[in-house]
Chain A
């Protein structure tokens, strides 16, 4: 329990750990999937796994928007910047993700493409205002927290009559991915993982509310606890999941009630539904095609849809051979199961998206987990 000293509220962490140890049943295992990359990061940073009994396992899910974007969409963005000569704006996380032949946005930028890293869609609008003679495309990625700001930008551009602004939309939906992990035949073929319950995302839920998860609880009999980002939140939520599993309950509980409500941010939801509609299907890295799992821009706003304004060529996109990101994103494999991990693939030279984003499981393992893993293996070998 050496990591417990890193907690601010050490006493509370110790009490929670003791309570969890007291309540777990020794005759069963508890596989808990955290969907949100923020939770993955917190679990590694604070060594939460080390505070758990042996039979409580965290399974790292596909909850990082950078990690789940398929290579083809990234290749399309590179093409928009290189062949169509647009000013391509995107969040910093996307810059280093390798596309086909290791080509990333940062490499395209170094080769002369006009790619700008922005913090906010407000910055993209500003760039469009300042460059009326250029086409400005916002390469939009993210889950439900990042989608409302894109909707506002589209509305704002329309109000202002900014004709040189458009959005390449790659926004994806959390509940659809969770459902897919639980039921799709493809995932079963590709290999699946036992999941007894979910730690629900916090900030995503602050926008969509906890209500969308009630379906899983009812339909798949899996408990969901919406968990805050703090490590103590993760531990408290774990305890709540263990209690539900022990009692045979499958409900949506909200550990993060100080921020998340059942209905979420209704104004944000209404803006999103004014601007976007469901795509019938969208490809996720690691999950393949997932029905109704992403958004596209409604026809009423078609003028601002980069997919309609520009044509990108049909091309063969390819991920790096032997990169295990897809299996890691499904929780089927651990980063250390990948041949590339820590050898050719490091945060300085990432081969896959899970090593790029700080919320990716590989980057988290690299930063906080790899020494522990090695020590554990050595211990086991010696025993």
Chain B
């Protein structure tokens, strides 16, 4: 549960929510913990909340590592399985 997964912000919505794209899956998350999120930013997501912004390079690096370590699929299933 300590892992955070990077995703690209596709759209901002009311109530501090945003839609992000994760490996082709779209997901609504909260951006209430960040002040200046914009469309096309990359954010690290932990339990449905964007914790901080990261660069596109860092996002790519992290995703490649998670895929290699075999945890990406698991995390994606957990994220997309949620009710929100």
Residues of A within 8 A of B (CB): 8, 36-38, 42, 45, 64-66, 91-93, 118-123, 126-127, 142-143, 145-146, 148-149, 152, 203, 206-207, 229-230, 258-259, 265, 267-268, 271, 357, 359
Contacts and interface: CB of A to CB of B under 8 A. Distances in A.
B49 A148 contact: yes
A36 B1 CA distance: 11
Contacts of B81: 119
Given A42-B69, A229-B65, 10 more contacts: A8-B65, A119-B82, A122-B28, A123-B48, A145-B2, A206-B52, A230-B62, A259-B44, A271-B33, A359-B1
A148 B32 CA distance: 9
A17 B2 CA distance: 27
A66 B1 contact: yes
For the complex of A and B, 4 pairs with smallest distance between CB atoms: A120-B48, A119-B82, A122-B84, A123-B83
Contact of A146 (B1, B32, B84): B1
Interface residues of B, number: 33
B4 A119 contact: no
Looking at chain B's contact residues, is the secondary structure mostly helix, strand, loop, or mixed?
Answer: mixed
B61 to A, nearest CB: 7
Nearest to B80: A119
Nearest to B79: A119
Contacts of B64: 8
A259 B1 contact: no
16 contacts: A8-B64, A8-B68, A38-B3, A45-B69, A119-B83, A120-B82, A126-B84, A127-B83, A149-B33, A149-B49, A203-B4, A230-B61, A259-B52, A259-B58, A265-B34, A265-B52
